[in-house]
């Protein structure tokens, strides 16, 4: 009876924290920045061009892109440069189609609204670039980012107390790179990637005890979507490899009627793989159209990876967008994930293995720093792992206190410091107080945090909320100027 009461109390707390997370999400919606720039030009083009032009002709996307993108991709006559034509005659767009798939419900609603408004006499342009489309895209990204957080919170609550899962969710939300790509740069793929990874982990964990064939097929659908959104998410599938190893070992060892045989497991895995391939058809077809082959990604070839000189430490600690040096709370979260692998191996070990596999992939990847990136944006995919790891460490930290209230106050104070530091650094990066590309001086960044940011932020926040278009043009101009300086010998 006591266990049932505790479980009911935990469920009530979970629902209460979920309501608070939802309220916070609503309050942060004014932060949405309906901006298509940089990599986002390519991601958004896969949604806009088929919707408006019914083709994969990205000419207008190149021409309407932000100035720093156009400077490289468009000539003085306003036409896409010839070197960006592929062998199939299409314009290069190596970015994934998954974000466009996820945006499609929001953009279809926006398009229907624009067409209706035009029929009633409105002059709003139905070109995919006007404000209704961009706001729909930005809201979709924020929505998926929030669902990623919510699913990660629920996953953590299955193994840890709701209070620590809640605090971890809030902290990772605002002390990692996620908030930048959830609100400020919504046309990029990273919030979507966090969503599909969280969805995969949540459903995988929900069904792993006795996964039926229909559940295997649904899991294949989720995995296919996860790979459509972001190719490095393939590393997360190491969880399924680890699971399969245990399942086949058990099938061979036990041979009881209660567990599936090796043949049954193989059949389910093959059907799962078939569904994954079918769901990946949008990627295969788009690669075929744009590059002339279904397996031509447009990215660097595997032969160009850093096989002989991996950057194991730089990925984590470099001033050039190192994961821990830019977002230090994630170092603590990773320590917590190691602890989770020891204390709750059922969930901790698979998540730790997937995180290590993802880290190794990025360490061998030539563009491991992400070029113009806030922190190491690639690792936003691992948001559920960071939340569970941080929640684990917070729960262990709470054991040092005589009451949960005291532990919560102490934890909140420490986490608030990480959040404030991260928000200040986001401001510096967004306004180009520190370089958007390449290494930064942490000495200069620390000076700015205390001496520059407090004085500037209030004024710039007013501009962000009330004169955002002007502010974005100023930021873009600074970016163009920094690119020119980098190009000078």
Q: For the chain, what is the HEC assignment?
A: CHHHHHHHHHHHHHHHHHHHHHHHHHHHHHHCCCCCCCHHHHHHHHHHHHHHHCCCCCHHHHHCCCHHHHHHHECCCCCECHHHECCCCCECCCCCCHHHHHHHHHHHHHHHHHHHHHHCCCCCCCCCCCHHHHHHHHHHHHHHHHHHHHHHHHHHHCCCCHHHHHHHHHHHHHHCCHHHHHHHCCCCCHHHHHHHHHHHHHHHHHHCCCCCHHHHHHHHHHHHHHHHHCHHHHHHHHHHHHHHHHHHHHHHHHCCCCCCCHHHHHHHHHHHHHHHHHHCHHHHHHHHHHHCCCCCCCCCCHHHCCCCCCCHHHHHHCCCCCHHHHCCHHHHHHHHHHHHHHHCHHHHHHHHHHHHHHHHHHHHCCCCCCCECCCCHHHHHHHHHHHHHHHHHHHHHHCCCCCHHHHHHHHHHHHHHHHHHHHHHHHHHHCCCCCCECCCCHHHHHHHHHHCHHHHHHHHHHHHHHCHHHHHHHHHHHHHHHHHHHHCC
Centroid of chain to Cα 158: 23
Total domains, the chain: 1
Chain segment 396-417, per-residue pLDDT in tens: 999 999 999 999 999 999 999 9
pLDDT of residue 211: 94
pLDDT of residue 93: 98
**Burial (CB count <10 Å: 0-12, 13-18, 19+), residue 482:** middle
pLDDT of residue 489: 65
Centroid of chain to Cα 92: 23
- For residues 167 and 411, the answer to whether their CB atoms sit within 8 Å is yes
The set of long-range contacts for 203-211, using a CB threshold of 8 Å and a minimum separation of 24, is 204/239, 204/240, 205/155, 205/158, 205/347, 208/243, 211/268
pLDDT of residue 258: 66
**How much is the mean pLDDT over the chain?**
95
C-alpha separations of 3 from 13, 116, 310, 452 in Å: 15, 56, 49, 53
| Cβ neighbours for 103, distance < 8 A, ≥ 6 positions apart | 44, 47, 136, 137, 140, 141
Low-confidence ranges of the chain (pLDDT < 50): 1-6
- Look at the block and give the residue holding tokens 């410091």: 417
Q: Which domain holds residue 194?
A: 2-487
Q: How far apart (Å, rounded) are the C-alpha atoms in residues 189 and 132?
A: 20
Q: How far apart (Å, rounded) are the C-alpha atoms in residues 360 and 8?
A: 41
Q: How far apart (Å, rounded) are the C-alpha atoms in residues 78 and 156?
A: 51
pLDDT of residue 480: 87
pLDDT of residue 255: 62
Half-sphere exposure of 415 (CA within 13 A, CB side): 27
pLDDT of residue 185: 98
């Amino acid at each position: 009876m006591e266990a049932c009461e505790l479980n009911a109390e935990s469920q009530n707390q979970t629902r209460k924290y979920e309501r608070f997370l939802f309220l916070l999400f609503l309050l942060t919606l004014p932060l949405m920045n309906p901006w298509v720039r940089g990599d986002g030009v390519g991601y958004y083009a896969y949604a806009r061009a088929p919707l408006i032009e019914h083709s994969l002709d990205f000419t207008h996307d190149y021409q309407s892109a932000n100035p720093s993108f156009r400077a490289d991709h468009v000539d003085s006559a306003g036409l896409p440069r010839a070197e960006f034509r592929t062998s199939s005659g299409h314009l290069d767009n190596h970015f994934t189609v998954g974000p466009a798939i996820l945006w499609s419900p929001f953009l279809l609603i926006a398009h229907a609204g624009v067409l209706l408004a035009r029929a009633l006499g409105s002059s709003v342009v139905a070109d995919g670039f006007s404000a209704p489309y961009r706001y729909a895209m930005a809201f979709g990204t924020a929505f998926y980012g929030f669902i990623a957080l919510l699913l990660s919170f629920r996953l953590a609550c299955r193994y840890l107390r709701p209070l620590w899962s809640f605090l971890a969710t809030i902290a990772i939300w605002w002390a990692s790179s996620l908030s930048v790509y959830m609100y400020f740069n919504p046309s990029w793929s990273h919030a979507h990637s966090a969503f599909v990874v969280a969805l995969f982990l949540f459903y995988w964990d929900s069904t792993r005890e006795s996964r039926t064939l229909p559940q295997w097929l649904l899991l294949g659908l989720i995995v296919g979507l996860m790979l459509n959104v972001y190719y490095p998410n393939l590393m997360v599938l190491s969880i399924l490899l680890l699971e399969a190893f245990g399942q086949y070992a058990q099938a061979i060892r036990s041979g009881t009627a209660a567990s599936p045989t090796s043949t049954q497991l193989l059949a389910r895995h093959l059907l799962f793989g078939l569904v994954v391939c079918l769901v990946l058809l949008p990627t295969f077809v788009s690669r075929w159209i744009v590059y002339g082959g279904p397996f031509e990604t447009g990215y660097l070839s595997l032969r160009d990876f850093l096989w002989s000189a991996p950057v194991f430490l730089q990925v984590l600690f470099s001033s050039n967008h190192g994961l821990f040096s830019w977002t230090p709370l994630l170092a603590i979260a990773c320590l917590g994930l190691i602890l989770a692998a020891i204390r709750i191996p059922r969930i901790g070990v698979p998540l730790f293995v997937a995180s290590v596999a993802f880290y190794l992939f990025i360490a061998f990847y030539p563009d491991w720093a992400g070029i113009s990136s806030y922190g190491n944006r690639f690792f936003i995919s691992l948001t559920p792992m960071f939340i569970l790891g941080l929640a684990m460490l917070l729960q262990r930290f709470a054991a040092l206190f005589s009451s949960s209230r005291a532990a919560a106050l102490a934890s909140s104070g420490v986490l608030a410091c990480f959040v404030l530091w991260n928000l200040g650094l986001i401001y510096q990066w967004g306004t180009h107080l520190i370089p958007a590309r390449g290494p930064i001086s942490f000495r200069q960044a620390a000076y700015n945090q205390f001496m520059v940011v407090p004085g500037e932020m209030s004024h710039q926040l007013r501009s962000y909320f009330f004169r955002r278009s002007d502010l974005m043009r100023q930021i873009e101009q600074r970016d163009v100027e920094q690119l020119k300086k980098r190009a000078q010998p």
